[in-house]
Amino acid sequence: MRFLEDLGVDKAQWAKVIYRFPALLTYSRQKVESTVDFLSEMGVSADSIGKILTRAPNIISYSVEDKLRPTADYFSSLNVDVGILLFRSPSTFGLSIEANLKPITEFFLGKGYTQEEIGIMISRYGALYSFSLEDNLIPKWEFFLTMDYSKDELVKFPQYFGYSLEHRIKPRYALVREYGVRLLLNQILSLSSSNFDKALEKKLMIMTKKKTLLI
């Protein structure tokens, strides 16, 4: 434990760390050091390494040469800053390249996005590649096509795919249509309920004033 604390693992969070990954204490110091060395090699700062090990201790279980490095190389091919992605979404590095990562890349390429745009999307929203194609990305993409936005909006705000289709996206977009106003995609989804209502009212007020001036 002392060794992990020296690496920056928050000792106040030990109970949560062990709960998340009970097998952590069974790994040798050498195994932990190999993971830490890899994270450092990828540009992750010492402070951030401690935070990664606290939030996602199971990253220790991934083989550096068979899992972490090939995944890092894959994301590098998409021009993703691997160090930042490791910090934001370490669990992504536990996914299968063939079964999870490549199909999602192919999905977005098939929708007309470039590799550079896909790289920007994953850089902005590390969890993007953790979603199911069939249960998440495809239905949300199909609904997005009914919305009055260009596909570039998803490059700007890939977090769209992290919101519930039935409980967030559809009802809020329905209100935007009902009010007859236009909001940015991130405004529709990321604002709290009260701020979303205020944004709608503000837009409606602006539209009303413009119409009054034209009369």
Write out 134-186 in H/E/C secondary structure: HHHHHHHHHHHCCCCCCCHHHHHCHHHHHCCHHHHHHHHHHHHHHHCCCCCHH
> For residues 122 and 129, what is the distance between their CA atoms, to the nearest angstrom?
7
Q: Evaluate whether residue 17 is within a structural domain.
A: yes
Q: Evaluate whether residue 44 is within a structural domain.
A: yes
Q: Evaluate whether residue 115 is within a structural domain.
A: no
Q: Evaluate whether residue 163 is within a structural domain.
A: no
CB 3 within 8 A of CB 33: no
Under 8 Å CB-to-CB from 63, ≥6 apart: which residues?
none
Give the per-residue pLDDT at 130.
93
Give the per-residue pLDDT at 28.
87
Q: Evaluate whether residue 13 is within a structural domain.
A: yes
What is this structure's pTM? 0.86
pLDDT 10s digit of each residue in the chain, 215 long? 667 777 667 777 777 878 788 887 788 889 988 999 999 999 999 889 888 988 898 999 999 999 999 999 999 999 999 999 999 999 999 999 999 999 999 999 999 999 999 999 999 999 999 999 999 999 999 999 999 999 999 999 999 999 999 999 999 999 999 988 889 999 999 999 999 999 999 988 887 776 665 55
Give the per-residue pLDDT at 211.
63
Nearest to residue 158, comparing CAs of 113, 200, 128? 128
> For residues 135 and 168, what is the distance between their CA atoms, to the nearest angstrom?
16
Q: Evaluate whether residue 27 is within a structural domain.
A: yes
Q: Evaluate whether residue 16 is within a structural domain.
A: yes
Give the per-residue pLDDT at 204.
86
Give the per-residue pLDDT at 155.
98
> For residues 180 and 55, what is the distance between their CA atoms, to the nearest angstrom?
43
Which tokens in the block code for residue 60?
């220790």
CB 7 within 8 A of CB 50: yes
Give the per-residue pLDDT at 32.
86
Number of domains comprising the chain: 1
Residue 41: give the domain boundaries.
1-61
